[in-house]
């Protein structure tokens, strides 16, 4: 990103934290930037936080597990990532305070010779770490197709770029990968088998999460943080050039790389991002039921116990209509 001249970075195991002189910063974690970085990082690129009187800093993280550990330990005040339904059954201290990105933006890509999920029987299907979003999408797709357990080899093949290379190189037969790869796939070898949003229509891509302790100790800053994100997302959705440019600068994509522009257009086409940061209770409950069915969790809980709508309500008054 461009505006790093105002702070210094300290590298720790989780990522890069920017420390300002001002006391009590609000440290927010985001997944390592990809072709959607313009949306995830817009709040840090201009004066949105300054206008709210908030010292907002960011940490880049490799996965949701690190993000959850960081907010629980107090190393971060908030995190934007996958909904932690898996831990709710054990620890309700993590609260969802808003959800910016609603549908899951992944695709199931496959070799062109494969025309249905059922044809993956006896073949290798690249996903990611157990209980990650790609893993869950893969398992749901296999189950929906009525294939017996174990009939498809679900392989943990790292990140999106790793899975794409494995599929393009013929190492695997199908893969769950971010839709950002759609404009660059070799269509003579690879095609879209199914959209993840069709396999799991109620799954949420990202929500903002914080602990009950942080929210109780810093309610004003929590509201300012969400107000900052609301303003930044409104700006991003209204300014394609600025958003695409931020993505390209952050990820070092070349100007002729189509992925940043494609992701922007997909967000707009599908209304994927809602800057009012809703908390869709019915979808959260559906996700929980799905994870119970998949055996990821052993019991369900009352979803209302892991929701805190207070910061969002206050943030809406700060940003106005």
Domain tally, the chain: 2
If pLDDT is split at 50, 70 and 90, which confidence band does 243 have?
Answer: very high
Model pLDDT, residue 5: 34
Residue 151's domain comprises: 106-199
One domain, residues 139 and 245: no
Of the residues 171, 199, 227, which one is the last residue of a structural domain?
Answer: 199
Is the pLDDT assigned to residue 219 strictly greater than 90? yes
Spatial strand order of the sheet with 26-31 comes to 56-61, 26-31, 78-81, 206-211, 94-101
Interval 53-76: pLDDT, tens: 999 999 998 888 888 889 999 999
One domain, residues 306 and 208: yes
Q: 269 is written with which tokens? A: 């086409």
Q: Under a CB-based contact definition with an 8 Å cutoff, are residues 40 and 83 in contact? A: no
In this prediction the pTM is 0.88
> Would you give the distance in Å from CA 35 to the centre of its chain?
12
One domain, residues 85 and 151: no
Output 223 or 13, whichever has higher pLDDT: 223
Q: Under a CB-based contact definition with an 8 Å cutoff, are residues 38 and 235 in contact? A: no
Of the residues 169, 199, 229, which one is the last residue of a structural domain?
Answer: 199
Burial-class residue 42 by CB neighbours within 10 Å (0-12, 13-18, 19+): buried
Instruction: Please tell me the distance from the alpha carbon of residue 265 to that of residue 219, in angstroms, as a whole number.
Output: 35
Spatial strand order of the sheet with 190-195 comes to 153-156, 124-127, 174-178, 106-111, 190-195
One domain, residues 115 and 83: no
Q: 231 is written with which tokens? A: 């303003």
Instruction: Please tell me the distance from the alpha carbon of residue 267 to that of residue 247, in angstroms, as a whole number.
Output: 14
CATH number at residue 311: 3.40.190.10
Which CA distances in Å does 263 have to 16, 80, 244, 302?
25, 18, 9, 35
If pLDDT is split at 50, 70 and 90, which confidence band does 23 have?
Answer: low
Torsion of CA 207, 212, 214, 215, to 10 degrees: 80
Is the pLDDT assigned to residue 9 strictly greater than 70? no
Of the residues 143, 178, 199, which one is the last residue of a structural domain?
Answer: 199
One domain, residues 313 and 209: yes
Quick one: how many helices (H) and strands (E) in the chain? 14, 12
What 3-state class would DSSP assign to 281?
helix
One domain, residues 187 and 238: no
Q: 285 is written with which tokens? A: 């409950």
Model pLDDT, residue 78: 97
Considering only CA atoms, which of 175, 81, 86 is closest in space to residue 128? Answer: 175
One domain, residues 143 and 218: no
């Amino acid at each position: 990103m461009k505006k790093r001249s105002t702070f210094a970075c300290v590298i720790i195991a989780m990522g890069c934290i920017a420390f300002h002189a001002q006391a009590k910063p609000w440290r927010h974690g985001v997944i390592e930037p990809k072709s959607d970085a313009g949306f995830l990082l817009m709040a840090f690129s201009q004066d949105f936080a300054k206008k709210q009187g908030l010292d907002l800093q960011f940490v880049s993280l490799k996965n949701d597990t690190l993000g959850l550990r960081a907010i629980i330990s107090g190393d971060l005040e908030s995190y934007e990532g996958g909904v932690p339904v898996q831990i709710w059954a054990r620890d309700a201290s993590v609260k969802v305070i808003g959800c910016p990105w609603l549908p899951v933006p992944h695709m199931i890509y496959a070799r062109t010779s494969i025309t249905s999920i059922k044809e993956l029987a006896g073949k290798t299907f690249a996903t990611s770490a157990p209980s990650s979003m790609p893993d869950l999408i893969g398992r749901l797709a296999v189950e929906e197709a009525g294939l017996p357990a174990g009939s498809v080899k679900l392989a943990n093949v790292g990140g999106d770029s790793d899975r794409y290379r494995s599929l393009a190189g013929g190492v695997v037969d199908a893969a769950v990968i971010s839709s950002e790869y759609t404009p660059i796939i070799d269509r003579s070898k690879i095609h879209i088998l199914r959209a993840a949003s069709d396999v799991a229509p109620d799954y949420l891509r990202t929500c903002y999460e914080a602990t009950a302790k942080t929210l109780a100790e810093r309610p004003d800053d929590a509201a300012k943080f969400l107000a900052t994100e609301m303003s930044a997302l409104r700006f991003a959705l209204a300014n394609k050039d600025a958003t695409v440019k931020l993505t390209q600068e952050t990820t070092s994509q070349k100007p002729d790389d189509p992925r940043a522009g494609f992701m922007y257009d997909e967000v707009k086409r599908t209304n994927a991002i809602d800057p009012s940061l809703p908390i869709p209770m019915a979808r959260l409950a559906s996700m929980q039921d799905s994870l119970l069915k998949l055996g990821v969790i052993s019991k369900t809980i009352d979803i209302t116990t892991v929701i805190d709508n207070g910061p969002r309500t206050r943030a809406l008054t700060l940003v106005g209509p």
